[in-house]
Amino acid sequence: MRILFLGDIVGHPGRMVVEERLPALLDQYRPDLVIANAENMANGRGLTPKLAETLFDANIDILTMGNHVWDHREIFGYIDNEKRIVRPANYPKGAPGFGYILVKVDTVKVAVVNLMGRVFMGDYDSPFAVINQILEEIQSETKHIFIDFHAEATSEKLALAHFVDGRVSAVVGTHTHVQTADEQILPGGTAYLTDVGMCGPIDSIIGMKKDQVLQRFLTQMPVRLEVEAGPAKLNAVVIDLLDNGLASSIQRIALK
Amino acid sequence: MRILFLGDIVGHPGRMVVEERLPALLDQYRPDLVIANAENMANGRGLTPKLAETLFDANIDILTMGNHVWDHREIFGYIDNEKRIVRPANYPKGAPGFGYILVKVDTVKVAVVNLMGRVFMGDYDSPFAVINQILEEIQSETKHIFIDFHAEATSEKLALAHFVDGRVSAVVGTHTHVQTADEQILPGGTAYLTDVGMCGPIDSIIGMKKDQVLQRFLTQMPVRLEVEAGPAKLNAVVIDLLDNGLASSIQRIALK
Amino acid sequence: MRILFLGDIVGHPGRMVVEERLPALLDQYRPDLVIANAENMANGRGLTPKLAETLFDANIDILTMGNHVWDHREIFGYIDNEKRIVRPANYPKGAPGFGYILVKVDTVKVAVVNLMGRVFMGDYDSPFAVINQILEEIQSETKHIFIDFHAEATSEKLALAHFVDGRVSAVVGTHTHVQTADEQILPGGTAYLTDVGMCGPIDSIIGMKKDQVLQRFLTQMPVRLEVEAGPAKLNAVVIDLLDNGLASSIQRIALK
Amino acid sequence: MRILFLGDIVGHPGRMVVEERLPALLDQYRPDLVIANAENMANGRGLTPKLAETLFDANIDILTMGNHVWDHREIFGYIDNEKRIVRPANYPKGAPGFGYILVKVDTVKVAVVNLMGRVFMGDYDSPFAVINQILEEIQSETKHIFIDFHAEATSEKLALAHFVDGRVSAVVGTHTHVQTADEQILPGGTAYLTDVGMCGPIDSIIGMKKDQVLQRFLTQMPVRLEVEAGPAKLNAVVIDLLDNGLASSIQRIALK
Ligand SMILES: [Fe+2]
Ligand SMILES: [Fe+2]
Ligand SMILES: [Fe+2]
Ligand SMILES: [Fe+2]
Ligand SMILES: [Fe+2]
Ligand SMILES: [Fe+2]
Ligand SMILES: [Fe+2]
Ligand SMILES: [Fe+2]
């Protein structure tokens, strides 16, 4: 089984590059499942139901989220009934939506899990404790388990990946919007990449207008950040899974 | 002019891989200047005078540092008199050592600057204000300026790089120990890479023993971290500079 | 000389309690100068020109600010021309407004300084370096120097106070909205209180509606926080200065 | 029932002032239960078995802890078998020691709970979720429940107190080492004080030598911090409980 995962789609330029380039990628790689991180879809912050539909229309099967998941209130009720969107599983119990979902790919069930880091991020439940619980819940259902670990610190990302190495198919990181070059199959058979990067404007600072971000750093005053309008790149990763759920290959994609 | 820069050298395995692989790299790339980040040289934390000498003996010309610079007290007096070591320039005035140095490469002077980020790091002086001061001080001396920006957040790294784009030769990031895949020449002519990665043990969590780092995350209790002993990789970057000080190429290196 | 300082005035209830209780306080204590922290005046976040005028009308002479200073854009131009408002002096150079002001009280000039902490706060310039610069600038003008140090960590507040002990009249802390009980004259003669507290609603969490703040902690989701509407308390401090600028007494005030 | 609680005992001067002044306090207040926070007992960092015994010998019945609980490894096994020491309950499951204990006072059982905040502190389990679990476990055992909430942010301390208001006897804060002046009985009947303060050296920065702490702030370099040796103060709180477990009074104590 082959999974294609797209890094954080940032605003309109991110969506445009996905709509333009994804068809050729589907032709070339013929993935069985297409997943994308959509936490920055709505002008860089969060997701709306309408934009989610646009992404599904573009042949993305599943959307994952991150720290921006709640930026638009319309999403609250929507994701309670939309089993193609996964929000970080380590929010306290009672949060709207699903922390993992099971999706049928031909005859195989695949679990898609979204988790968030805590280091430099927020006071979420432990991603280590939560993934243990989830694996217990789903181990009788499937061995094909894909994790989008939305986190900042490389130490936490590597730690979680080694923690579940051999127990899941893949751990890919998101959130920094910069693709890392360390794709690998861990000793236990889990595919890993510290950060997939983003689908978003090239001449920007992690997707946002350079002058605005610079003003923030230079003045320490609040500056409204807008998504840069220029040409965008597409960052993604392709992972092949064996029948036992472990990974046989992982390949980075970076299109300009 | 060609500069070879090695990412954070982590402990004994890091030094071993540098000593083993650097000669062939020198043969292959024939750099005019070899720089390495040595903040993790002494068992993962800091640098000692003796270890610095070993690295100079291994044909590294200049050492840069980071947040671990003061971990060994013997370094305090040493770096006050050692013009081949650069510590972050944005420590408050009065700190031991040099925030930038000028080194003669044939007939050309090259400035090597070390800066630290503040986001998720510490209460240092503004790297933006400090680099402006430094550039004012050295602009009559040289146009060949290399910056090791030791920082965590991708936004701060990209922001600083764009801030000095066209005014310096290169900005390369260190600290996360994971190489990023975004090498580029910025619009103004400055070479850039978000993080060079590390020279250190492969089967580790950013250089340290996996089980120890995992214990920290799982228990939230203090656990002493030791450098992993196994085989190491070498992460580096090669940058070519034009006579006007701007960059003509940047190339990542990742040897296992 | 006697200075009366009011802790962070939080929203409408804060302004109401000040307007109701300040006249009697002026009668009772007969201060020569009345200062108040107004960073939470506008619905808990920032200050508007109109609300500033209301506070001046209520017989407050000088307003200090804090991390919320820029929450309303109308303040930007206003405080560039209003010498009765002081914003934190350790914003990078070029910020609107004044980091300290000199105010004439009868025949004596008093300097009012606003500084912010960095620990758990933000990447401001060093309050230690900045206060040294300010003291150099104003030492020929006055020995009566009042500092509102807007900071979170008790260690940083105490450290700054001891750093300037004997060089300024008073250091009082703001920001936590909870009055501390450690009023004292430091060994060098500077009056000190870790936090003055707030003028704001009693049955609240630092001024805001309890259920909203609790929802944030319980869900880790964004919840809009509103100022609690109920009855308010007034927290303040009265400080007496000698002719040499040092303090002879400091007294806490807490009215319900 | 009357409970006397002593704020963080800092090093030798802290222990000395407790040994000197506690006998008179016991005479004056005749508490039924004496509790003290001992996280800074061993030279400012942690606790040793031997020092714990010394505190029990000084007529303290129960010791609570905080973020420094694990600073001495000898404590690990000790607190697994010592039912008079309580460590923060919101460490991940499996941590040594007890997060709450039940102690018999005449015929009444009292629960003593230790919790830690997460804001500006660390990635512990949610204190809100954990106290809910604990209350469920012990509600059939006792209504006399005392919580030492070791936390930094006033918002988190007040939020937790209101969260359990009416369900526990008292929530008192520790960790900042500065006593606050906001002792109160909350609307539901729970006694509350944001921070009890410390038992430690007066002319210090939260217990440590002033010049060393200042060096840290001024240089941003690592400086070893030692407990100040001078005369100490004693900060405490006395709380009276009704038969229904709720509080009838709370009184601060600050002895120099
Ligand atoms: Fe993102
Ligand atoms: Fe994110
Ligand atoms: Fe490093
Ligand atoms: Fe580092
Ligand atoms: Fe405030
Ligand atoms: Fe504030
Ligand atoms: Fe503490
Ligand atoms: Fe403490």
Structure confidence at residue A246 (pLDDT): 98
- D123–A125 CB contact, under 8 Å: no
CA of B206 to the centre of ligand 3 (A): 8
- At C208-228, the pLDDT tens digits run 999 999 999 999 999 999 999
Measured CA to CA, the distance from residue D41 to residue D52 in angstroms comes to 8
DSSP symbol at C208: B
Distance (Å) from the alpha carbon of A82 to chain B's nearest alpha carbon:
32
The owner of tokens 């120097």 is C145
- Which-ligand-closest: CA of D42? 8
Q: Which residue of D91, D118, D121, D123 is the best one to mutate when testing the A interface, meaning the one whose CB has the most A CBs within 10 A?
A: D123
Query: Which protein residues have their CB within 5 A of the ion that is ligand 4?
Result: B 66-67, 175
If interface means Cβ-Cβ distance under 8 Å, which residues of chain D face chain B? 70-71, 91-92, 94-95, 122-124, 218-222
CA of A41 to the centre of ligand 2 (A): 11
pTM of the model: 0.98
Across-strand partners of A112?
Answer: A101, A146
Distance (Å) from the alpha carbon of D175 to chain A's nearest alpha carbon:
19
Measured CA to CA, the distance from residue B180 to residue B186 in angstroms comes to 16
The residue from D68, D72, D150, D175 that is catalytic is D68
Contact residues on chain D for A118, CB-CB shorter than 8 A: 123
Rounding to the nearest 10 degrees, give the CA dihedral for residues B215, B216, B218, B219. Answer: 100
Distance (Å) of CA D153 to CA B95, C59, C176, D92, D172: 32, 32, 8, 21, 13
Contact A66, A107 (CB under 8 A): no
Q: How many other CB atoms are found less than 10 A from the CB of residue D77?
A: 12
Distance (Å) of CA B164 to CA B133, B195, C93: 12, 17, 19
Measured CA to CA, the distance from residue A202 to residue A196 in angstroms comes to 15
Q: How many other CB atoms are found less than 10 A from the CB of residue B254?
A: 16
Q: What confidence category does residue C204 fall into, taking pLDDT thresholds of 50, 70 and 90?
A: very high
Contact residues on chain B for D92, CB-CB shorter than 8 A: 218-220
Q: Which amino acid is at D49?
A: P
Distance (Å) from the alpha carbon of A152 to chain B's nearest alpha carbon:
8
Q: What confidence category does residue D78 fall into, taking pLDDT thresholds of 50, 70 and 90?
A: very high
In chain B, whose CA is at the least distance from the CA of D125? B220
Average pLDDT over residues C196-213: 98
Q: Of D251, D256, D255, which Cα lies nearest the Cα of D29?
A: D251
Instruction: Look at phi and psi of residue C97 and say left if phi exceeds 0, alpha if psi is from -120 to 50, else beta.
Output: left
Structure confidence at residue C194 (pLDDT): 99
- C219–A122 CB contact, under 8 Å: no
Contact residues on chain B for A214, CB-CB shorter than 8 A: 159, 162-163
Structure confidence at residue B56 (pLDDT): 98
CA of A68 to the centre of ligand 2 (A): 6
Q: What confidence category does residue B68 fall into, taking pLDDT thresholds of 50, 70 and 90?
A: very high
Structure confidence at residue C163 (pLDDT): 98
- DSSP per residue over C148-188, as a string? EEE-S-HHHHHHHHHHHBTTBSEEEEESS-S-BS--EE-TT
CA of D93 to the centre of ligand 1 (A): 32
The beta-carbon neighbor of B220 closest among D124, D218, D221 is D124
- Percent of chain C exceeding pLDDT 70 equals 100
In degrees, to the nearest 5, what angle opens at C-alpha C131 toward C-alphas C126 and C133?
Answer: 100
- At C98-156, the pLDDT tens digits run 999 999 999 999 999 999 999 999 999 999 999 999 999 999 999 999 999 999 999 99
Structure confidence at residue B197 (pLDDT): 98
Average pLDDT over residues B165-185: 98
Residue C163 sits at φ, ψ, to 5 deg, of -65, -35
- DSSP per residue over A70-127, as a string? TSSTTHHHHTTS-TTEE--TTSPTT-SS-SEEEEEETTEEEEEEEEE--TTS--PPPH
Query: Which protein residues have their CB within 5 A of the ion that is ligand 2?
Result: A 66-67, 175
Contact residues on chain D for A123, CB-CB shorter than 8 A: 118-119, 123, 126
- D92–B123 CB contact, under 8 Å: no
- A92–C122 CB contact, under 8 Å: no
Q: Is the ipTM of this complex over 0.95?
A: yes
Per-residue pLDDT of chain A (256 residues; tens, 9 = 90+): 999 999 999 999 999 999 999 999 999 999 999 999 999 999 999 999 999 999 999 999 999 999 999 999 999 999 999 999 999 999 999 999 999 999 999 999 999 999 999 999 999 999 999 999 999 999 999 999 999 999 999 999 999 999 999 999 999 999 999 999 999 999 999 999 999 999 999 999 999 999 999 999 999 999 999 999 999 999 999 999 999 999 999 999 999 9
- At C85-96, the pLDDT tens digits run 999 999 999 999
Average pLDDT over residues C78-87: 97
Contact residues on chain B for D222, CB-CB shorter than 8 A: 70-71
Enumerate neighbours of D (3 or more CB pairs within 8 A).
Answer: A, B, C
Measured CA to CA, the distance from residue B240 to residue B242 in angstroms comes to 7
- C123–B126 CB contact, under 8 Å: yes
- At D25-59, the pLDDT tens digits run 999 999 999 999 999 999 999 999 999 999 999 99
Q: Of C97, C19, C11, which Cα lies nearest the Cα of C55?
A: C19
Q: What confidence category does residue B172 fall into, taking pLDDT thresholds of 50, 70 and 90?
A: very high
Distance (Å) from the alpha carbon of C22 to chain B's nearest alpha carbon:
39
- Percent of chain B exceeding pLDDT 70 equals 100
CA of C10 to the centre of ligand 5 (A): 7
Contact D15, D200 (CB under 8 A): no
Structure confidence at residue A255 (pLDDT): 98
Average pLDDT over residues C75-91: 97
CA of D198 to the centre of ligand 8 (A): 7
In chain C, whose CA is at the least distance from the CA of D208? C155
Measured CA to CA, the distance from residue B234 to residue C104 in angstroms comes to 65
- At D143-200, the pLDDT tens digits run 999 999 999 999 999 999 999 999 999 999 999 999 999 999 999 999 999 999 999 9
Q: Of A255, A253, A204, which Cα lies nearest the Cα of B155?
A: A204
User: Count of B–D CB contacts within 8 Å?
Assistant: 32
The owner of tokens 């007496």 is C240
Structure confidence at residue A109 (pLDDT): 98
